[in-house]
Structure 1
């Protein structure tokens, strides 16, 4: 019997062949998965009382924030939140 490349019913003939990629574990397409994951993330954030703020800064400030966050072992978002809270506390004291 000749080996047919398209024949996947005789698995023993293809036991040593490695197939590319990870096995499919989710029946949904990747784009739908990403959309659902983002929706779930936003829902979790909302339940935790978090709100989203988008902020555009120049490259130099962005780099400084990254360095400072790494030094303090915080995420950039946690660092920005701490800096804002610190500034607001100073404003209240004045």
Structure 2
């Protein structure tokens, strides 16, 4: 049986054939690219005065936050920051001690 170039149903015949794909635009391996990008992101955040906070929420609260953020067309992080600031401001106005 001869191998036809248009026949792609018998993949085992074409397993060693290199197919064209997306061109490589960065000479570094992907895991190193991710490390560099994350380092640059952390550097940008530090320059903007941001500090990292980790938060665990139950699924229903997270879903509700996602819906609110989508409705207001802002990121979830921006929404959480806004909510915390609102709460701090209301506590300060009510005279709650910090």
Following TM superposition, where does structure 1 have runs of at least 4 consecutive aligned residues deviating by more than 2 angstroms? Answer: 18-21
The whole-number CA distance in structure 1 between the counterparts of 2:20 and 2:49 is 42
**TM-score when normalising by structure 2:** 0.75
Deviation of 1:56 after TM superposition, in Å, equals 0.6
Is 2:93 aligned against 1:93? Answer: yes
Mapping of residues 1-94 of structure 1, within 5 Å: 19-94=19-94
Normalising by structure 1, we get a TM-score of 0.78
Look up the match of 2:13: none
Deviations 1:3-37 (A, max 9, x none): xxxxxxxxxxxxxxx94321111111000000000
The root-mean-square deviation of aligned C-alpha atoms, in Å, is 1.2
Residues 37-87 of structure 1: CA deviation (Å, up to 9, x unaligned): 000000000001111111010000000000000111110000000000000
- Gaps of at least 5 residues in structure 1 are 1-17
Hey, what's the Cα distance between the residues in 2 that align with 1:23 and 1:53? 38
